[in-house]
Chain A
């Protein structure tokens, strides 16, 4: 059991969160050349990641005592610290990976995200509810960027673009700009969000619990009680 816990804390979670951090910045540019780039998280993404981790601590989704604490050995605490650091990097990158690439849309994305995280903090959800909330927030951001925005800025104009423009009754995008990405970036982002949520679900819930039991011989007490009990 302890070996499985050690493997999860020392290998599974850090490598999973680092993979999320790596793929969160991955962008495949349109065209057959397959040019790619890796975008580091913006400062606002890092700040938002810290706030979101605060919400995780309040919801007991992230239990710092279960990762770093006096009840753990030094090496185990170092592993726990690494899990926290990699979780911070993964959170920042997953948020930045789902943001529009530039312009007004990007600003609007971070504004809405700040409001949502703030609202989540105020609601003080428990662990399952926060996981559910994150699933909805990240899923919505993924659909917004890789389905709606991607369709709106598609030069060829697919059915999604025609439907959206029909619903918006001919509204023009005007000077609103964003960078076009290859469709494969959306699939990578989808897998990355699932990996991130899997990592969150695998976070240890609490430290090992101990119960104190004391034993006392009760033979004499029983004998006295039997002697005092009248026999019919």
Chain B
């Protein structure tokens, strides 16, 4: 009887451990914080640091984008909060936006961040009801960043100089 109990417990433990390893390989955490945060998020126990988030938001609204990303990164070290990741992507957009041309390197990082935000958002839909933003969904932000990275004839349209940053 005890023998069967040990064998049964072994099967359960092995299945749980194998599931954990599969999750690690599928989610590819890049830091220990992402590993532990991802595990916490998978059981709904992950929370961002509110103070750092608010500080990041303040920097973002003051157009201090590097500082904003540092604070937002501190607020969400595991990169598991879609809203925080959305603001990080938005900061890349605003910093990289230019009336004549956009900074491809910053836009590419923004695209990577917004893709990540979409991938971790429930149902892959992300709405951020912030009245200070002109783009309040991740889909709009993603499309704008993609347009900025695309090279086509509209790049030579003189009306580009009249557009406004969103």
Measured CB to CB, the residues of A under 8 A from B are 2-3, 6-7, 9-11, 14-15, 18, 21-22, 25, 33-38, 40, 73, 75-76, 78-79, 82, 86
**Distance between Cα atoms of A35 and B28 in the complex (Å):** 11
B3 within 8 A of A: yes
Q: Is the CB of A75 within 8 A of B24?
A: no
B14 within 8 A of A: yes
> Shortest CB–CB separation between residue B3 and chain A, in angstroms?
5
List 21 A-B pairs, Cβ < 8 Å. Answer: A6-B7, A6-B10, A10-B7, A10-B14, A11-B6, A14-B10, A14-B17, A18-B21, A22-B21, A33-B31, A34-B32, A35-B31, A36-B30, A36-B31, A37-B28, A73-B4, A75-B4, A75-B8, A82-B10, A82-B14, A86-B18
Contact string against A for B residues 1-23, beta-carbon threshold 8 Å, 1 for contact and 0 otherwise: 01110111111011001100100
Q: Is the CB of A36 within 8 A of B7?
A: no
- Could you say which of A3, A35, A36, A78 contacts B3, with CB atoms under 8 Å apart? A3
Chain A: which residue is nearest B6 at the CB level?
A6
Q: Is the CB of A15 within 8 A of B7?
A: no
- Could you say which of A36, A37, A38, A82 contacts B11, with CB atoms under 8 Å apart? A82
Chain B: which residue is nearest A18 at the CB level?
B17
> Shortest CB–CB separation between residue A205 and chain B, in angstroms?
20
Q: Is the CB of B7 within 8 A of A38?
A: no
Q: Across the interface, which residues of A come within 8 angstroms of B8, CB to CB?
A: 75
Q: Is the CB of B25 within 8 A of A38?
A: yes
Most buried by B among A11, A21, A25: A11
Q: Is the CB of B6 within 8 A of A3?
A: yes
Q: Is the CB of A79 within 8 A of B21?
A: no
> Shortest CB–CB separation between residue B77 and chain A, in angstroms?
12
**Distance between Cα atoms of A20 and B4 in the complex (Å):** 26
Q: Is the CB of A34 within 8 A of B31?
A: yes
Chain B: which residue is nearest A36 at the CB level?
B30
